[in-house]
Amino acid sequence: MQFTLEKSALQTGVQKIIKVSPTRSTMPILNHILFTIENGRLYLRTSDIEITYVLEVDLLNGEDGSVAIPARLLQEITNELPETELKFSVDEKQRISLETTVGTYKIQGRPGDEFPETPELADASTFKLPADLLERMVDKTLFAVGRDELKPALMGVLFEINKADIRAVATDGHRLVRFTNKAFTNSGDPAKVIIPTKFLQLLQNLLPMEDQVEFSISNDHVKVETKGAKVYTRVIDEHYPDYTAVIPSGNDKTFVSNTSEMVNTARRVSIFSNRTTHQLAFKLHPGYLEVYTEDPENSTSAKEEVLVEYDGEEMTIGYNSLYVRDLLRNIETEKVVFKLSSAVGPGIILPEKQREKEDLLMLLMPIRLNA
């Protein structure tokens, strides 16, 4: 098998797909990139079993066949090479010779058929999705996914594809984000799927390049296809908890504040909070909010006041400052709305005004303060 391609084409391709190949694996084949030439077109493939990434790369010429080439070696040499044509020759024992204008390199490859197959998506439902919408759904929710392996269902984002809207939900049990787009319509069947975090992180790198992506969901896999690239992932086959039951309806202590002022205050005050608990206290007064923290361990404390629109009774509530900052970062409007119930109940955080055809809702559980 022989083939030739531009160094820059290969380098860009390798950079993209190497993100999938595991750094340590019990299956040595997974530390390779599979090169397949079919009908004169070159496809690179990486896999960590959960995720498979297939990318088409421009080929100058080559004959059909396949070989698996060690991924890191390939990455390192393509990064170091000057702009050149790369000529690969592979013998029947998968010994690879890479000829360039600056030199010749020998690599031991592996037979292409050792590489795991791309998943078959049986009975998949497929629909088109604007790439910027998918990107936005991921951006708005991914930060809130869980990392606790005892709660596998929460280690991904729930996608709900309905007839007239599409929704993404993420929660780690302490906070929750629900993002809905109502401009979306789907003529196919409604579907629900939990997509693993790693796959969505990968999408973030992949997405902005196309207007439309094709999204396919089968029982056990999801595939996202853009021009020249297909990414597959196994889905999280768990029952996602009923998040609708968690969203409170009776939160009547509402305050509105300037988003960037809140962000700045939270950032400054949290510098003085305890490194382990990241605890901030919000003391709500009519017209203003006191944000304060105390860390007896390091004898530090901080207090700031922010003007807010609020005319309810005084209340004090504790939050993890990291969570507060994450959630505020997700607010794009000038003002942010907090709807609270009590010092131990979930608070709702909303943008002052939703974007057209969009609904963003976030929940945050407090930290129990010492009475």
- 345 vs 244: CA distance, rounded Å: 15
**287 counts as binding other proteins under rule CB under 8 A:** no
CB 264 within 8 A of CB 304: no
Which residues are paired to 350 by β-bridges? 337
Secondary structure string (H, E, C) spanning 65-85 = EEEEEEHHHHHHHHHHCCCCE
Tokens 């094709």 label which residue?
214
Find the shortest distance in angstroms from Cβ 294 to other proteins.
5
Find the shortest distance in angstroms from Cβ 193 to other proteins.
19
Find the shortest distance in angstroms from Cβ 184 to other proteins.
26
Q: Between 39 and 276, name the residue whose CB sits nearer to other proteins.
A: 276
- Using CB under 8 A as the binding criterion, the count of chain residues that bind other proteins stands at 36
CB 172 within 8 A of CB 145: yes
Q: Between 42 and 236, name the residue whose CB sits nearer to other proteins.
A: 236
- 343 vs 337: CA distance, rounded Å: 17
CA distance to 140, 238, 326, 328, 331, per residue, from 363 (Å): 13, 22, 12, 12, 13
Give residues with Cβ within 8 angstroms of 211, minimum separation 6: 130, 131, 132
The footprint of other proteins on residues 255-274 (CB under 8 A) is: 274
**293 counts as binding other proteins under rule CB under 8 A:** yes
Q: Between 59 and 170, name the residue whose CB sits nearer to other proteins.
A: 170
Q: Between 187 and 276, name the residue whose CB sits nearer to other proteins.
A: 276
**344 counts as binding other proteins under rule CB under 8 A:** yes
Among 31, 180, 259, 320, binds other proteins (CB under 8 A): 320
Window of 37-45, 53-61, 228-236, 297-305 that interacts with other proteins by CB under 8 A: 297-305
Query: Any alpha helices (H) in 126-192, and if so which ranges?
Result: 131-141
**237 counts as binding other proteins under rule CB under 8 A:** no
Question: What is the pattern of x (binds other proteins, CB under 8 A) and - over residues 346-365?
Answer: x----------------x-x
Find the shortest distance in angstroms from Cβ 320 to other proteins.
6
**251 counts as binding other proteins under rule CB under 8 A:** no
Question: What are the structure tokens assigned to 194, written together?
Answer: 């939990």
Among 106, 150, 187, 313, binds other proteins (CB under 8 A): 150
User: Please, how many CA atoms are within 13 Å of residue 112, restricted to the half-sphere of its CB?
Assistant: 18
**How far does the chain reach from its first CA to its final CA, in angstroms?**
74
**176 counts as binding other proteins under rule CB under 8 A:** yes
- 214 vs 226: CA distance, rounded Å: 6
Question: What are the structure tokens assigned to 289, written together?
Answer: 């909010």
- Which residues would be at the binding site for other proteins (CB under 8 A)? 150-151, 171, 173-176, 241-243, 245-246, 274, 276-277, 279, 281, 293-299, 318, 320, 344-346, 363, 365-370
